[in-house]
Amino acid sequence: MPTDHGSTAAPPAATMSPYATPSAKKFLRHGVHVALAAVVIAAVLTIAQDGDFWVKLVYAEAISLCSWAAIDFGRFLFKPHPQTGWPQGWRAVALPFLGCVVGYVVGQQIGDAVFGWSSFSAYRHGHRPWIKDVLLSAVIGFLFSLFYYLRGRNAFHRAQVATSERDATLAKLGMLQSQLEPHMLFNTLANLRVLIGIDPPRAQAMLDRLIAFLRATLSASRSNLHPLQAEFDRLQDYLTLMAMRMGPRLVYSLELPAELQALLVPPLLLQPLVENSIKHGLEPKVAGGRIDVCARREGERLVLTVRDTGLGLGAGSSLSGGFGVSQVQERLATLYGDAASLTLAQVDDDAGGTLATLVFPTTPPAFLAPAAGSTSTTGHTA
């Protein structure tokens, strides 16, 4: 089934913390939180220290709001990290500290202006221990900053998880959709319809192949690993159907040594390569050609090759940019990192065409280790 719709998968956008960009709504919300917290602080101080609640409230609001403004706006002066909304390095600590100092000084002045006295002269004359006030301010400021920093980081992580889950779902859907491409189905059914009239036993055999292929497609999109034999069975079904359609223009061979049959591999790694060979190599070639799929082991690695005698890579079609090929490369990178590779090369012998070579470790990635009974057995079930 054609998987190349001429579009390549776009790289996922980097997730950002929602606090990394300035937003009037967020500022307002933070400001309201701080103002409310200042009321609580003033109440606690009134109970703890005696004195006028309203005086304490005015000072608490003035200092808190000034500190908050200095920190919340100041973090954008310091270029916040996109993942946390907070500056990095020494600035991460300097910001709340400076913000609290600035906020304390300015806020104190505002409070003084409201009540018409000077706190600084009180400090100078020893009437008020300024160190206690400053420390109180600093601790509260630091706690608030820590709270907002952790919340920003948490929001970023949640956004990241949501994006990953969405990408995984989209990838699975894309894979399923590319396998059940309607034109392939309609063309195959059209051929089957003809066969029913002229060669009913062959039509039944072909229909069995189509059923097995569709069943394998569904289970492949659900499972993470299946035996290499299952993958080859599926290729056989697909190539038999394509040979029915292309007639003498398609000849194929599949070679899987007995000792590799039970090896567990991720599904649908070979299928897009075979489809590409047919779609870009053989179908557009008037004379058609052949496809040979082989599996062999080289030490701890599995080498799978798909060779076609089609038009080859220089035929003008964007074979390397095809959706199927790039999707296989992405999946390999996700599953095996650097230990796997997919290379496409022009073949330089008389028959020409393209050779796709897929190499990856024989041991499946640890995070795909199958639970009991979760691997699919795609046999020709009746």
Partner 1 sequence: MNATALIAEDEPLLAQALATDLGREWPGLKIVAQVGDGASAVAQALALRPAVCFLDIRMPGLSGLEAAQALAEDWPADVAPFPLLVFVTAYDQYALQAFETQAVDYLVKPVEASRLAACVARLQQRLAERSPGAAAEPVL
Q: What does the binding site for partner 1 look like in residue numbers (CB under 8 A)?
A: 183, 186-187, 189-191, 193-195, 197-198, 244-249, 283-286, 288
In the bound state with partner 1, the residue whose beta carbon lies nearer, of 182 and 337, is: 182
**Alpha helices in 15-118, H assignment, sequence order:** 24-49, 53-77, 90-115
In the complex with partner 1, the residue whose CB is nearer, 141 or 288, is 288
Q: How far is the CB of 190 from partner 1 (least distance, A)?
A: 4
For the chain, strand residue ranges (E) read 226-227, 250-255, 264-265, 289-298, 301-308, 341-346, 354-361
> Is the separation of the CB atoms in 86 and 155 below 8 Å?
no
Give the pair of three-digit tokens for residue 57.
């409230």
Strand 250-255, strand 289-298: pairing? parallel
Question: Which of 125, 183 has the CB closer to partner 1?
Answer: 183
Cβ closer to partner 1: 101 or 243? Answer: 243
Q: Which is nearer to partner 1, 15 or 177 (CB)?
A: 177
What's the min distance (Å) between Cβ of 273 and partner 1?
Answer: 20
Q: Quote the least distance from Cβ 9 to partner 1, whole Å.
A: 22
- Residue in the structure block whose two tokens are 């060779």: 307
Shortest Å, Cβ 248 to partner 1: 8
Phi/psi zone of residue 366: left (φ > 0), alpha (ψ -120 to 50 degrees), beta? alpha
* Cβ pair 326, 178 in contact under 8 A: no
User: In Å, what is the CA distance from 381 to each residue of 220, 373, 377?
Assistant: 15, 17, 10
CB nearer to partner 1: give 34 or 250: 250
Name the minimum Å distance from CB 184 to partner 1.
9
Cβ 332 vs Cβ 270: under 8 Å:
no
In the chain, the N- to C-terminal Cα span, in Å, equals 23
Phi/psi of residue 346, each to 5°? -70, 140
Least separation in angstroms between residue 285's CB and partner 1 is: 6
